[in-house]
Structure 1
Amino acid sequence: MQPLLKQIARWMPTIASLGLLCGLMASLLPIIIPGELRQSHRAILRQLENRHPSCITLAEEHVRRHPEDCFGIALAAESAAALYRHELALKHYRQLPEDHGRWEFLSAFGQASRHEVASRLSLAEKFYRQALHLNPHHKEAHSRLGHILQSSGRVWEAEPHFFQLIQMGVCRGDELLGMSMTDRFFRKDDRFEQAGLELNPPEPLMLLGVARRAIQQNQLSEAEQLLRQVTASRPELGEAQGRLGRILSDQGDAQAFEVWRCGLPLAAQQHPEVLFSLGLQASRIHQDAAAARCYLEALMRSPNHLAANVQLASCLERLGHSTEAKQFAERGKVLAQLETNLNLIRFEISETILTNIVNANRKIGRYWETIGWCHIMQWAQVPQGFPKETYISTYPMVLETPFANAQSLNPCRLLDRSSFPWPEWPRANANSPRHESNLSGSGDWRLQEIARQVGIDFQYEEGTTEETRMNHIFSTVGGGVGAIDYDMNGWCDLHLAQATPWESPLPDIPPTDRLFRNSGEGHFQDVTDRTGLHETGFSHGVTVGDYDQDGFPDLYISNMGKNRLFRNLGDGTFEDVSHSSGTEGSEHDWSISSVFADFSGDGHPDLYVLNYSDIPSTAAKRCYLKNGEAAACTPDLLTSCPDRLFLSRGDGTFEDATASSQLTDPNGRGLGVIAWKYGPDNRLGLFIANDTTENYLFINTGTSGDGVPSFREEAVLRGVAFDVDGNSQASMGVAAGDADHDGELDLFITNFFNESNTFYSRRPDGFFSDLTRPRNLRDASFKMLGFGCQFTDLNTDGWPDLIATNGHVDRISTDGTMDRMPPQVFWNQQGRRYHEVPASHLGPFFSGKYLGRGMALLDWNRDGRQDIGITHLHSPFALLSHAEYQPSSSRKPLVIELVGTRSCRVPTGASIEIQAGNWRAHSLQTGGSGFIVSNADQHHFFIPSGATSVKAIVTWPDGSRETWDDLLMDSETALIQGEKTARVLRHLSPH
């Protein structure tokens, strides 16, 4: 904190500092002070300069003798402040006259500084605002007030003060980061916090800062309690009100939300966070136009509110404002990229990161910040140096733009707010919702790990030891699983991917992928060597599909390097056709997974290959933990590698149609992929779960005359690019299924530690809503790092539950969290909410901790219930089988296999509805699910036992519909396109 007399110097330019004041007194005092006061002032100044306690005594005596001497009163205040006599200092500051000039300013600034030192931040804020009203260009007042607002989490209110500083030439990293409006990067001042919380009552602004951090750490009960304290004492604080409203909305308690809304004071109603919370609630009660109004109002006040840009884009698209929606979507993407780079620059100053920040700010019209970051590049002496061309081209725009955001690039200008209504809030039910979590009567959850017992002894070996594991990102992904009935005997076999020591030459007998044949008699046998499956690559994803439509499933293996396609010859052996088919890809592509699906609509499966990064640059990149140990690099430091689309020619060969199909992904590092019908027609699209960048949703817009499909990326518009808060998450696995029996495809995404998984619920209009919090799926996953995941009805109650396998990517995470983690199961409570099932209900395997990776579904013993295969790093493969079969009096299994004839044999994009009396259930045939695995292509239902008739209605990928009546329960049944009679493959029996 600068001495008061430095502040006097701002009003009296001849005085620059306390030391200079003492040196100049002899010449200045005859001019500005009557002669009889000269000696007294000099005496006080001499002692004040040395911080000698006598300065207070002299100053007090001077004020007693000369009570009208403003300069003497100021000296008395500064003397008391210098020796930490804050109350005495405040007394003298209050004695300065209200002259609407220098003395009133000094009074306000002095009181603000004393309250700030004492951590009475509400009072400090009040007086700094008074000081700035008197002197709007005072740099120190802007800086201190901006710091207080930032430290209490009020980033929107802090931004104008940092902007003023930048306009006045104070352009350092602190000001630029403070101006960035990045909601997740507000400051923490330990001194403020400790002293402020010790006050009685505690300082509200510090309670708000603590609440904001609690929200970031997902401690929402604590945050709600703190926010209620803050809003009770400072109800006008829009930041606190908005955060509280958001928590209440996420809880799904309409009555509590309505009480909060009705109690909002006028001063808080216009805050962007309040408006955003209102918009989110309006969207949840299906008032899209009203939600758009709230989001638009928020963006008029805060144009760089990332979540509001993203949510408004989706709202506008649903309402038919496509042109405007695309502009908000694009702004949201740029803001997300900017936020990523602003986070990185806090830890590493690099030319690439700084260039990205400069370009992103310029792209969205934040010209002042563009110039500021150009200066930072000059100061940081990055190799590229000062970006002269960018500076020269941007500087005229700064002169023409007095605001932080150029209005010409703000998409809000395109819309008339008044054309969108405000929400019409329904009367809330007086009874708060009850969320039952009692597992009694919910069925049998027990699963037994039986892999070695049934003959599967396998462990993925990526070339590291327990001491060196996960020291490079190549060693963190793991191996996949393919559920494949390769010999078509009706019993599901397993193909398990294997790796090699990538940093050293292959051994004489290299490890290979393994194929385990299911005998149908309760055990598996390793038949790899006799089937011709010789795969020695560093393998990840395993994709099963009948690419040549001969009725025998083939295998595609995604590798670090060239991929492999193995054709099933139908005689129990495979042939390597990778090169001849044209699907092996580049030796420089690090492929993670893939999916077979007919994107062109010609009846032949095409192949989409998910690539992560460029192998040579990734192999050379080395990263380390704080303790110096080698560790996997974060994805944003790696050069991404574009995915590939291989179109089938129908003769067993493929052509690379990536560019011609407009499947561009310049920043994607995909880990999960789902093929299904996302658009309003029957064409197949793609959902890509990306690692740390926004997800992609490629809508298939049609096939050209030469048979090439075209795609349009719409993830932001459809609501699946980011989570509800606009976060680009580190997405890993994707589970796809109909969670609530509405016939729509819902998506469950596993994410990074401290992010939580994400649940996207698909609406009837084809858009998605992030319902992670309302579905109770956030808290239990927040401290997990998820990979493989699946929808499956584990307790046979007719509703698809969720299962996920977890495990870190660091050997020991930097905050001390152990990297091995338990798998999790979430009970689907009739499509409304999920509840985590305790490990004690599931079996011993779930009490263990693992580095879980791939997870596939199969019914290995054909009892009608889906079992689970899980791959791990540094632990053996696990096969989880249901406990001993106990016939249920309430549900009967029915397993359906769909077989296409006019469409592909594996009819990706088909859907099936089962009707039994008034009971309905849906299942959807997707390509891909989970993480680097292929599930068995079966649809499992559990029919109420009282049903007397079961009907199936199938919608095939080409849009045609067929119905089968009187299906047999307790059976495996094939429904073949064009055949009127269902084929019973097997009567299910206990095992």
Structure 2
Amino acid sequence: MSNDSSRRPLGRRRRRLYRTIIIVVVVVVVVTLLSVYAFRTSSPGTYATGEEHQEITRGLSREVPNGAPEFRFVDVSVAAGLDGFRMFDGERSSQLPEDMGSGAAWGDYDNDGDEDLFLVSGGGPLSAPVDKLAPSVLYRNLGDGTFVPVEGFPEVRMVGMAASWADYNGDGRLDLVVSGYNALRLFRNDGDQFVDDPAIPSRDGYWAGTSWADFDRDGDLDLYVCGYVQYIPDTKGRDRSTAQYGRQIPYTLNPASYKAEQNLLFVNNGAGSFTESAEALGVSNPDGRSLGALWHDLNDDGWPDLYVANDISDNALYINHEGRLEDESHAAWVADYRGAMGLAVGDWNRDGDDDLFVTHWVAQENALYDSRLADGADQLLRFVDQADLKGLGQIALRSVGWGAEFVDLDADGWLDLVVANGSTFEREDRRTRLVPELPFLMWNDRGTYFHDMASFIESLSIPKVSRGLAVSDYDNDGDLDLLFVDVGEGVRLLRNDTPQNNWVQLQLTTDGARVVADVGDVVQRRAVSGVSYLSHSTRRLHIGLGDADQIDTMSVYWPSGHVDAFSDLNANTIWELREGDPKPRRLSGPKRTELTREQTTEFWRVQRAAMRAMKVDADPVAAGRLFEQALQLDPSHEDSIYYLGNCLAEQGDDDGALARFAELMRINPKSHRAFKRWGTLQAIVAKSSEEIERAEEALDRAVAINPEATGARMVLAEIHIVRGDTDAARQGLRWIRTTNPTAGDALFLLSYLAWKEGDNGGARELLQDASGVGEEWRPEGAAAEGDVKKTMHQETTLLGDAYTNWDRTDDPDVVFVALDRRIRGYLAKSQ
């Protein structure tokens, strides 16, 4: 009976309740499943390097505004003689020291006014014997845009990392320190030779960046050396790996696999010796895997502070309290635990204090630490990372950054930023090679934002595995040029042909000196430092003036504490400043020989007679003698040099003419006519492909100086034709024709190219167009600064006489047979 009662039917109310509960449960389950599905399908997947995530980054990027400068950089590595340098010999074995270097260092070791170059080689695989490692090389700058290895420099074969110049013994000559894996060498410059100096004995350890400064202000330079990790060689490191960002990273390429190496501070004793005192002075940074460090007076108290970039460990900032260094990293908000490599310092926003830029590993963004020193009355040194807000953060997520430099590339008065990039990931198709990346060339838009312009520059649009970066005005033309060190390859020297504003360069005789310059209502700051990743840039200070024609007033703060004041420093000049000397010395610039009134009168009497002999009498011999007399009175007069070169060329003295045009190129590196005339004549007399390449380089420079002039472009098109590069020739000729529809010589050569391709009809039409230009038109003669109304001479080019001697026949088979035979002869010479 009890069983029957347990089966009693549910009441209507209870059944309705159960149904409601079941429906609610089903609805909840369905909604939950739909929500999970929607989340999984709409949310971004796991981040992998190289992927775009617009929902994260689109608010951080901006379009390049109208009016951005047209940056131009030409790769002159071959023409400069640097193509023989090898950064690495052999194949990588996936060991950390093989991938982290190397750098380069600019410095005028022979005091001839041109900055020389030391290139650090990464050597080769760790297992290679020393004599099989690629050597590091010191190159002397010849002053004409080329370099030669210095004979007799001590052999340097190591797995190299860094180099930096400094006059550590105060004899007026730059000495050199070079670091590497289990290597640290100091080379003393004795004037006639470099010698290995045991004052800093080599020691085992993994030594990276080096930086000089007189931190204790005792009058001599001290040296800080970064220790990276306590590396243990292991040729089987590829057998053990960890997954990072979707890639397998060998154990031996992960710096976290090894303990940190302590840093070194060699205190200069002033008697040709050093005492290593890093631990005693509290700056050994034993937990930091240090790659680079810079000395810089960040708080404007006259004492150089020390900032250290550490890989996968906290960065360190040591503030200098009158020679006592204290760790204030956290108080200054720069103790950043990321993978730091490269460093740069400069007042990028012109707010009156110096800021820091730090490059990092992939997916970590680079850092732009904006100093707040000038913002507050309390004078506390603090920094805030502004990288994302200023265009320098998210753009670097996919890159591994190394060398970096603040540099005013167009002399507009705002510091731009260049960054060398290159992955540490191995290529999946070839594990002995690393993944290449594009560099950054960040244009500073008046302190509001940095725009990457590298993709617009042909010489920077090829991915490389770069490490070192160093800048210098190696050709003394007033703008700063770029040098990249590429893993497994060599170096790239990129000459800056960007149109420039006015500028001033300052050669200060002491490392660590800093200047504050007033240019109109703008204040600019610079300091002698030059430290980049494993590299050392120019020790000259470059200040872009925009359209100002001088520095109005300037204070120089020397490391000793002494301050000198200068005023009215003219633009476009290199000035040398010495401590305690109130008179600046002009090293180069737009200067004329100071003549007495009588000498000036005599100069112009001779100059006018020379012009009359050339123009009216058509006597190049007499004119040449008169120009030489004029130059005895004023050796740097550009017109006299230029027209003397033309007279020598008309007499058949090609070597003499080339020498005069080269002299004008050195006196005025912005002289369009000098580069055009030298390049044209060099192309005519060239006896090898190398000489034709040098001619092409000079003509490219002429085009960069004056892009609107067609004469240099015409000669370049002729060179392309004789070298068999018809596509480049046709492109150049069409540009000339578009710019100048009456360019008969361009139409004439376009007709030749059509005839060579078998298009006789098109060739005939182009000949008829060229004929219709009119007898009054001729190719440009002396087109450049200093010309008069009547052409002084008629320039000869490679192929120009074929047009000028053409009788206007429109049959291509008749017109071009002789020209084609001549071009084939040139082509054979250019191979």
Alignment TM-score, normalising by the size of structure 1: 0.55
In structure 1, the gaps of 5 or more residues are 1-29, 41-61, 77-87, 94-109, 121-191, 199-206, 226-246, 252-434, 704-709, 723-727, 900-904
Q: Is contact 1:512–1:534 with CA below 8 Å preserved after alignment?
A: yes
Residue 748 in 1 paired to residue 375 in 2? no
Find 2:228's aligned residue among 612, 631, 646: 612
Partner residue of 2:99? 476
Partner residue of 1:415? none
Residue 847 in 1 paired to residue 450 in 2? no
In structure 1, how many angstroms separate the alpha carbons of the residues matched to 2:550 and 2:233? 62
In structure 2, how many angstroms separate the alpha carbons of the residues matched to 1:63 and 1:563? 93
Q: CA deviation at 1:214?
A: 7.9
- 1:485-634 matched pairs, under 5 angstroms: 485-506=108-129, 508=131, 510-527=133-150, 529-530=151-152, 532-571=153-192, 573-577=193-197, 580-584=198-202, 586-587=203-204, 589-616=205-232, 623-624=240-241, 632-634=252-254
Specify the SS of the correspondent of 1:733: strand
In structure 2, how many angstroms separate the alpha carbons of the residues matched to 1:959 and 1:64? 100
Higher relative contact order (CA 8 A, sep 6+): 2
Q: Is contact 2:185–2:200 with CA below 8 Å preserved after alignment?
A: no
In structure 2, the gaps of 5 or more residues are 591-667, 671-831
Find 1:915's aligned residue among 495, 513, 518: 518
For residues 63 and 645 of structure 1, do their structure 2 counterparts lie closer, same or farther at Cα, with a shift above 3 Å needed? farther
Find 2:527's aligned residue among 907, 924, 930: 924
For residues 949 and 749 of structure 1, do their structure 2 counterparts lie closer, same or farther at Cα, with a shift above 3 Å needed? closer
In structure 1, how many angstroms separate the alpha carbons of the residues matched to 2:325 and 2:361? 29
Q: CA deviation at 1:69?
A: 11
For residues 969 and 625 of structure 1, do their structure 2 counterparts lie closer, same or farther at Cα, with a shift above 3 Å needed? same
Q: Is contact 1:214–1:223 with CA below 8 Å preserved after alignment?
A: no
The aligned amino acid for 2:288 is G
Residue 963 in 1 paired to residue 562 in 2? no
1:839-869 deviations in Å (ceiling 9; x for gaps) = 22x2x22121100110001111001111111
Q: CA deviation at 1:731?
A: 1.2
For residues 224 and 565 of structure 1, do their structure 2 counterparts lie closer, same or farther at Cα, with a shift above 3 Å needed? closer
In structure 2, how many angstroms separate the alpha carbons of the residues matched to 1:741 and 1:628? 44
Find 1:770's aligned residue among 385, 400, 404: 385
For residues 488 and 612 of structure 1, do their structure 2 counterparts lie closer, same or farther at Cα, with a shift above 3 Å needed? same
In structure 1, how many angstroms separate the alpha carbons of the residues matched to 2:125 and 2:56? 47
Partner residue of 2:276? 656
Q: CA deviation at 1:681?
A: 2.8
Partner residue of 1:782? 397
For residues 687 and 949 of structure 1, do their structure 2 counterparts lie closer, same or farther at Cα, with a shift above 3 Å needed? closer
Q: Is contact 1:855–1:871 with CA below 8 Å preserved after alignment?
A: yes
Q: Is contact 1:618–1:638 with CA below 8 Å preserved after alignment?
A: no
1:677-715 deviations in Å (ceiling 9; x for gaps) = 234632222111111222111112344xxxxxx322222
- 1:376-455 matched pairs, under 5 angstroms: 437-440=64-67, 442-455=68-81
Q: CA deviation at 1:652?
A: 1.2
For residues 931 and 499 of structure 1, do their structure 2 counterparts lie closer, same or farther at Cα, with a shift above 3 Å needed? same
Alignment TM-score, normalising by the size of structure 2: 0.65
Q: Is contact 1:748–1:757 with CA below 8 Å preserved after alignment?
A: yes
Find 2:82's aligned residue among 449, 456, 460: 456
Partner residue of 1:730? 339
Partner residue of 1:67? 14
Q: CA deviation at 1:918?
A: 2.3
Normalized per residue, the structure richer in helix is: 1
Q: Is contact 2:265–2:284 with CA below 8 Å preserved after alignment?
A: no
1:515-535 deviations in Å (ceiling 9; x for gaps) = 1111112211111x32x3221
In structure 1, how many angstroms separate the alpha carbons of the residues matched to 2:410 and 2:119? 27
For residues 620 and 602 of structure 1, do their structure 2 counterparts lie closer, same or farther at Cα, with a shift above 3 Å needed? farther
Partner residue of 2:486? 872
Q: Is contact 2:88–2:134 with CA below 8 Å preserved after alignment?
A: no
- 1:87-486 matched pairs, under 5 angstroms: 90-91=22-23, 114=29, 117-120=32-35, 192=36, 194-196=37-39, 210=43, 221-223=54-56, 437-440=64-67, 442-465=68-91, 469=92, 471-486=94-109
1:905-949 deviations in Å (ceiling 9; x for gaps) = 32x1x32122233233221233x5220001110111222445466
In structure 2, how many angstroms separate the alpha carbons of the residues matched to 1:458 and 1:116? 69
The aligned amino acid for 2:127 is S
Partner residue of 2:767? none
For residues 685 and 759 of structure 1, do their structure 2 counterparts lie closer, same or farther at Cα, with a shift above 3 Å needed? same
Find 1:758's aligned residue among 338, 343, 367: 367
For residues 478 and 217 of structure 1, do their structure 2 counterparts lie closer, same or farther at Cα, with a shift above 3 Å needed? closer
Partner residue of 1:831? 447
In structure 1, how many angstroms separate the alpha carbons of the residues matched to 2:57 and 2:95? 40
For residues 862 and 718 of structure 1, do their structure 2 counterparts lie closer, same or farther at Cα, with a shift above 3 Å needed? same
Residue 714 in 1 paired to residue 547 in 2? no
Q: CA deviation at 1:490?
A: 0.7
In structure 1, how many angstroms separate the alpha carbons of the residues matched to 2:6 and 2:110? 107
1:4-62 deviations in Å (ceiling 9; x for gaps) = xxxxxxxxxxxxxxxxxxxxxxxxxx9xxx8558679xxxxxxxxxxxxxxxxxxxxx7
Specify the SS of the correspondent of 1:453: helix
In structure 2, how many angstroms separate the alpha carbons of the residues matched to 1:618 and 1:608? 29
For residues 544 and 618 of structure 1, do their structure 2 counterparts lie closer, same or farther at Cα, with a shift above 3 Å needed? farther
The aligned amino acid for 1:535 is V
Q: CA deviation at 1:508?
A: 4.6
1:728-776 deviations in Å (ceiling 9; x for gaps) = 2211111111101223111111111222211111112421110011112
Q: CA deviation at 1:624?
A: 3.2
For residues 115 and 666 of structure 1, do their structure 2 counterparts lie closer, same or farther at Cα, with a shift above 3 Å needed? farther
Partner residue of 1:801? 416
Q: Is contact 2:208–2:228 with CA below 8 Å preserved after alignment?
A: yes
In structure 2, how many angstroms separate the alpha carbons of the residues matched to 1:115 and 1:978? 84
1:430-468 deviations in Å (ceiling 9; x for gaps) = xxxxx773253x334100011111111244444543xxx
Normalized per residue, the structure richer in strand is: 2
1:218-240 deviations in Å (ceiling 9; x for gaps) = 96752499xxxxxxxxxxxxxxx
Percent identity, please: 23
Q: CA deviation at 1:563?
A: 0.4
The aligned amino acid for 2:183 is K
In structure 1, how many angstroms separate the alpha carbons of the residues matched to 2:344 and 2:543? 17
In structure 2, how many angstroms separate the alpha carbons of the residues matched to 1:214 and 1:500? 36
The aligned amino acid for 1:872 is D
Q: Is contact 1:807–1:851 with CA below 8 Å preserved after alignment?
A: yes
